[in-house]
Amino acid sequence: MNVDLEEFRGVCENFYDKNKISNSTEAKDVDAFFIHASPAQRVDLTREQNKVRAEFHQRVENERRRVFEGLCVDTQVRRLPYSTIIDTLKQFIERHYNDNNRNPGIEMFLVALYTLLRLQRCYPRRLAWILDNSAFTENGHKDFTIDAYSLVVGVLGCEVIDRYKNTGTYVLPATLTNSELSGIARVLPFSVKRSTRILKSLQGDAEAGKKDKMAVGDVYESSSPRDYARKEGILSQLYNYILDIIL
What pLDDT score does 131 carry? 92
In degrees to the nearest 10, what's the CA dihedral of 230, 231, 232, 238?
Answer: 150
Residues 6+ apart with CB under 8 A from 55: none
What pLDDT score does 102 carry? 81
What pLDDT score does 51 carry? 94
State how far the Cα of 97 lies from the Cα of 117, in Å rounded to an integer.
19
What pLDDT score does 209 carry? 43
Q: Parse the chain into domains and list their residue ranges.
A: 5-64, 76-246
What pLDDT score does 203 carry? 45
Beta bridge partners of 171: 128, 159
On whether the CB atoms of residues 114 and 186 are closer than 8 A, the answer is no
State how far the Cα of 216 lies from the Cα of 153, in Å rounded to an integer.
17
Could you report how far apart the first and last alpha carbons of the chain are, in Å? 64
Q: Residues in the chain, how many?
A: 247
State how far the Cα of 197 lies from the Cα of 115, in Å rounded to an integer.
9
Residues 6+ apart with CB under 8 A from 246: none
For residue 93, the SS3 value is helix
State how far the Cα of 55 lies from the Cα of 16, in Å rounded to an integer.
10
Walk along the chain (247 residues) and give the pLDDT tens digit of each residue.
677 889 999 999 888 875 555 556 778 888 888 988 889 989 999 999 999 999 988 888 888 889 999 999 999 998 899 999 999 999 999 999 988 878 888 988 999 999 899 899 989 999 999 999 989 988 878 899 999 999 999 999 999 998 888 899 999 999 999 999 999 999 999 888 876 555 554 444 444 444 455 667 888 999 999 986 555 555 555 555 555 555 5
State how far the Cα of 89 lies from the Cα of 83, in Å rounded to an integer.
10
- Residue 187's Cβ-side half-sphere holds a number of Cα atoms within 13 Å equal to 22
